[in-house]
Amino acid sequence: MTALRVASYNTRDFLDDRAAAARIVQAIRPDVLCLQEVPRRLFAAHRIHAFALACGMRWPGHHRGSGGTTILLGPRVRLTFSQHHRLPVRLGQRTRGYAVARLAVAGSAAVTVASVHLSLRPLERAAHARAILAAIGSDEAIICGDLNEQADGQAWRLIATPLRLVSPLTPTFPARAPRKLLDVVFASPGIEVVPAQPLELDADDLVAASDHRPVWADLVLKPVPGA
């Protein structure tokens, strides 16, 4: 079965070079792109839709209340539903949230994918992780995003209990000289991981596009029973 490439990218509200970010996405060629820090206010829907087109992807839309998270889809992905949810934060802090999509490709069983962006505060991050895991429940799942913490954090450990890290251990932040691994892809144990193939991403575009670097993983979903 053909692998599904799932990527995650914090695009810093498109405050940097959006064209460079689109070129990075085009070079990765994801089937599913989980985004964090996309525009949330003035002309937000138009700007996200335009970015999706520039990446050669489609956007399901309706990301109000998402805390700046959303999911873009490639042409071979079939979408069942998508939702966006707000996560509670202390008054005056940047809004946080997560986007959820239920999707599949031909011949595969459906999987739940979540794009998440957790708080800067450790206790809030842990609460956010619990809420996201509860919302996904027992579904086969892929969780991607900016956790704002590394492997020693409680939220990371909570997510890593039912799921496992499938993206590389390479630091992602800051983009110019990465020192911290904040951006990750986790997947359920039943989802097969295909060994990653190196990609040559333009170094100047990586720095110009955002303060984070993207991550991705090639995954094989469970087949449809009897297929």
User: Would strands 164-165 and 183-187 be described as parallel, antiparallel, or unpaired?
Assistant: antiparallel
- Return the closest-CA partner of residue 161 out of 193, 185, 201, 188: 188
- C-alpha distance across the termini of the chain, in Å: 11
For residue 65, the model assigns a pLDDT of 63
For residue 63, the model assigns a pLDDT of 67
Residue 2 DSSP one-character state:
P
For residue 43, the model assigns a pLDDT of 85
The Cα–Cα gap between 188 and 138 comes to 10
For residue 191, the model assigns a pLDDT of 95
pTM to 2 decimal places: 0.95
pLDDT tens across the length of the chain (227 residues) = 678 999 999 999 999 999 999 999 999 999 999 999 999 877 888 999 999 999 999 999 876 767 899 999 999 999 999 999 999 899 888 889 999 999 999 989 999 999 999 999 999 999 999 999 999 998 899 999 999 999 999 999 999 999 999 999 999 999 999 999 999 999 999 999 998 778 999 999 999 999 999 999 999 998 887 65
For residue 226, the model assigns a pLDDT of 61
For residue 139, the model assigns a pLDDT of 83
For residue 128, the model assigns a pLDDT of 97
For residue 42, the model assigns a pLDDT of 74
The Cα–Cα gap between 222 and 156 comes to 25
For residue 227, the model assigns a pLDDT of 56
Peptide bond into 60 cis (omega under 30): no
For residue 92, the model assigns a pLDDT of 81
Angle at Cα 58 formed by Cα 134 and Cα 129, nearest 5°? 20
For residue 178, the model assigns a pLDDT of 98
Q: Which amino acid would we find at residue 92? A: G
Contact 119, 88 (CB under 8 A): no
Token pair 């079939």: residue: 78
Contact 31, 111 (CB under 8 A): no
> Is the C-alpha dihedral spanning 184, 55, 12, 79 positive or negative?
negative
Contact 140, 222 (CB under 8 A): yes
